[in-house]
Amino acid sequence: MKRIKTLLSFFALSALFAGVPEAQESGMREWTVLVEKKIKGEFVRVEGDKVVLRTPSGKIRKGKIDKLTSEDQARVRKLAQKQQDSSERGGDLDEKFRKMFGDELLTTEGEDVDVEKLAGKTVGAYFSAHWCPPCRKFTPELVKIYKEWKKEGKDIEIVFVSRDRGEDEMEEYMEWGEMPWLAIPYESEKRDGLVSDLNVQGIPKLIIFNSKGEIITRNGRGFVSKFGTQAPEKWGTQE
């Protein structure tokens, strides 16, 4: 389940990219120029023949798309098409989820899945790791309940946020637990960012969000352990 980092390449950064004010955030990634220089930034949008990025410092930089490698040009077209499709659907995926999890998630088989799959669903962010005994105890319980939710037609999705010490450990854990849900790629900065943003201090932790990206409960684990498949009817009503 090794992911190949997507590198979008630009020619002569100082000449092609000019700083302008802030813009909307998308998935942070590393962008590489044809002369092997790199810039870290997030895809924001396409403007004519240019791609717009936002750097970690918040500056906006623009570069001509035709200066990218063929692979990276394809990436830009894909991201731009996703934006257009979302706009045409009225933006049914709350942007909070895209900011939390990034543009793409993974299946246990290592397949890329568009974060758009979370649209309109209740979402649980599951912070866990294979080295953690309480996690190894809770994960099979959550897998069983999750499968029951799916049989009952509940619109609930789980996103695994690995706290493993390496990508291999994350893969082992997902396979060991037969996790049927999605995961943030190990190399994604969203993993550590989410831990910080949500102030996760211990694992296992299951934080439940409504379809608007608002927290319903930070104690999803407790509700699942106590109420099983009936947890969705209980969380948010008591802590």
For 163-202, write each residue's pLDDT tens digit.
999 999 999 999 999 999 999 999 998 998 999 999 999 9
| pLDDT: which is higher, 160 or 30 | 160
Who's near 111: CB < 8 A, 6+ residues apart? none
Q: What is the pLDDT of residue 16?
A: 46
Block residue for tokens 């045409």: 88
Report whether 31 contacts 10 (CB < 8 A): yes
pTM of the model: 0.63
pLDDT digits (tens, 9 = 90+) for 31-61: 665 555 666 777 777 888 888 877 776 667 7
54-70 burial string, b = 16+ CB within 10 Å, else e? bbeeebbbbbebebbee
DSSP helix, strand, coil percent of the chain (3-state; round to 5): 35, 25, 40
Answer whether 231's CB lies under 8 Å from 208's CB: no
d(CA 181, CA 21): 38
Q: For the domain covering 13-88, report its CATH number.
A: 2.30.30
Kindly list the domain boundaries of the chain, sorted by start residue: 13-88, 95-234
Q: What is the DSSP code (8-state) at residue 204? A: S
**Burial letters 142-173, b for 16+ CB under 10 A, else e:** bbebbeebeeeeeebbbbbbbbbeeeebbbeb
Structure tokens at 77: 């077209």
Look over the chain and give the mean of its residue pLDDT values, rounded to a whole number.
81
Cα(238)–Cα(127) distance, rounded to whole angstroms? 21
Topology, domain 95-234 = Glutaredoxin (3.40.30)
Cite the DSSP H helix spans in 36-132. Answer: 70-88, 95-101
